[in-house]
Structure 1
C-alpha cells in the first residue's frame, strides 16, 4: 500500500541527493530514514551504528535462503 505525503522541498532534495549515493530510490531513502528514526526513538540508549547494523542483519536474514539445521 502506498500513501501520498507532503514533505518539505529541502528534505526532498536531501533525499534525492542521498538516494543517488546509496543507490536507492528517493522513496526508499525516505523509508530508510523513517525506519532508522523510529528505531532510534524507540531505543534512545542505543547508538546509531548499532541500530543500523541490526536492521541490516535483520534484512539479510529475511533475504537469505533458509535451510534446516541438523544438530550433532
Structure 2
C-alpha cells in the first residue's frame, strides 16, 4: 500500500544521489535505507556489511541462484 509522507528536501536529494549510483529511484533508495535500518535496530550486534550481504543472499535465493550444499 502506497502512502504519501513528507520528507526533508535534503533526504530526497541524498536518496536521489545514492539511488543513481545503485540504479534505484529515490523512493526505492529510501525503502532500502529503511529496511537496512530496521534490521540493524533489531540486530544491533550485526555489522552493516553482514546485513547487506544477507539481503543479497536472500534475493539470490528468491531468484533460484543458489546451489544446495552437499556435506561430505
Give the 3 Å change call, closer, same or farther, for CA 52–65 of structure 1 in structure 2. closer
1:59 aligns to what? 59
2:50 aligns to what? 50
1:27 aligns to what? 27
Runs of 4 or more consecutive aligned structure 1 residues displaced over 4 Å after TM superposition: none
| TM-score, with structure 1 as normaliser | 0.85
User: Which whole-Å CA distance do the structure 1 matches of 2:65 and 2:40 have between them?
Assistant: 29
Query: What SS does the corresponding residue of 2:5 show, helix, strand or coil?
Result: coil
Structure 2: unaligned runs, 5 residues or longer: 67-72
| TM-score, with structure 2 as normaliser | 0.85
Structure 1: unaligned runs, 5 residues or longer: 67-72
